[in-house]
Structure 1
């Protein structure tokens, strides 16, 4: 890998070198490296571009890294990755995509990840998106995450898109079985004329299922963001969705909630707050020696943690 590719790899996955355990590193449409383990198998898809990951039942305290790097000008791809996770697992999956653009030719990565989680398992999924380079070409990422959480299982999603992505259309669709639950923390920041649209559709189908969807975002300059959350309570369940957003400059943010109770024992809540940084917060930090710009960045950094 060259210097740019290594920098992107570190930004989206925290890796400085080849990781231990299972991994699949993709660079400009090709497999840069792949390693399977006794419990985590990775195979190419028979149809379409992408991989199939199978995690054996009973796998505990193991992780998999699967970063995608695009550093070739004008590269566009659609990748399908399927995860089959057995019963009684406890695993972490670290994904992410980094795009570098140094020309007027834009690049685009559309990643469709489908998760099929067995019973009584725990899955943590970490996904980071990042763009770099001083070219005028658009850096576009359109991730789709489709999840089926089996009986008694739990999935935690931690997604972040903080810098350099010009356009993104994010879709997450979840189906929860009996006693299954999901927790999502999404963090987004846009600036310039960037656009980010994020949609969550969660079907709480099983009794005692639960969902907690949280989005924190900052929109600067003339950028635009849209957050839409749909919770369908189809059984005795509990669901909560929350959107907290900060506007800086002439940016625009929309929050569109939709909660539907199709069962009398479904308890669903939506919260949303959009506004600018309070002046007293800026002033307080400036009394400690920070400039106004430094104070603003400090507040935003803490908000997105």
Structure 2
């Protein structure tokens, strides 16, 4: 594994909770190159034939193992697009940790676009964690555009934790999913924007098999002059159940647009959407201030609790 500097290690900690080389299978990408790659007996990581990403194959029946594939960027002006495919075998139960951190101290924009495709076998379980983080004192933007495609076979379960709390100037997140009979998808998105940042989140989930279910929930905070759009569509093509929810706090001059959509193409498709956007309640701030906090500290406590 290549030696990473202090900034790169800090980014790894932010996006993948890594303080050292992880146990198990991993691929660490730094400034457009592989900084280290390890496969295991049950998890194989190899370059794609076109050289533009990775293929990760997890053997059927693999249990209690993890894959880490974080990306860190510290060079200003660097732009890349990477395609990663994951094949999760039947009855496997694994954790996949991705995420990207960009530290841009220059005047040029830095951008990472990651396209991930998941092919989840029958009765397999996957927890996928994707964290995005930006830092640096430069005027160049930190841009992240993740695309995620999920294809779930019968009885499979996918839990997705999508987090972006700090420092990303522009992001356009698109997620699509195709669920077979009895498949379950759970998405928990947490997002905060500030300054003049922009964040777009688009989800399209097709519930194609009997008993398929989806629960897509986004919690977000828009501060300063930032803008957010949450666009979630559930399509019920069978006897299924689906729920989508956007719960947002707006502050300062921020703007938030929530666009929930439901499409039922089967008599027994049960679909629900909820959306709520509002400011922090004054009585919440006052209550915390009586405990000795300043108004700014009270706001931070409320936001931190909301985004947990």
Which TM-score band (shorter chain)?
over 0.9
Report whether the alignment pairs 1:70 with 2:96. Answer: no
Residue among 133, 136, 149 paired with 2:136: 133
Q: Deviations over 1:138-176 (max 9, x none)?
A: 000000000001100000000100000000000000000
1:216–1:245 Cα contact (<8 Å) kept:
yes
CA distance in 1, matches of 2:116, 2:138: 29
1:48 CA displacement: 4.5
TM-score by length of structure 1 reads: 1.00
CA distance in 1, matches of 2:72, 2:145: 14
1:105 CA displacement: 1.1
Residue among 253, 256, 271 paired with 1:268: 271
Report whether the alignment pairs 1:288 with 2:291. Answer: yes
1:106 CA displacement: 1.2
- The corresponding residue for 2:100 is 97
1:214 CA displacement: 0.3
CA-atom RMSD in angstroms: 0.5
Report whether the alignment pairs 1:116 with 2:125. Answer: no
Residue among 287, 299, 302 paired with 1:299: 302
Q: Secondary structure at the match of 2:98?
A: strand
Q: Unaligned stretches of 5+ in structure 1?
A: none
- The corresponding residue for 2:221 is 218
CA distance in 1, matches of 2:143, 2:32: 15
- The corresponding residue for 1:241 is 244
Q: Secondary structure at the match of 1:284?
A: helix
- The corresponding residue for 2:82 is 79
TM-score by length of structure 2 reads: 0.99
CA distance in 2, matches of 1:14, 1:232: 35
CA distance in 2, matches of 1:87, 1:249: 49
Residue among 161, 169, 173 paired with 2:172: 169
1:48–1:80 Cα contact (<8 Å) kept:
no
- The corresponding residue for 1:146 is 149
1:5 CA displacement: 0.5
- The corresponding residue for 1:26 is 29
- The corresponding residue for 1:58 is 61
1:257 CA displacement: 1.1
CA distance in 2, matches of 1:253, 1:211: 23
CA distance in 2, matches of 1:290, 1:217: 23
Report whether the alignment pairs 1:228 with 2:198. Answer: no
Q: Secondary structure at the match of 1:216?
A: strand
How many residue pairs get aligned? The number is 305
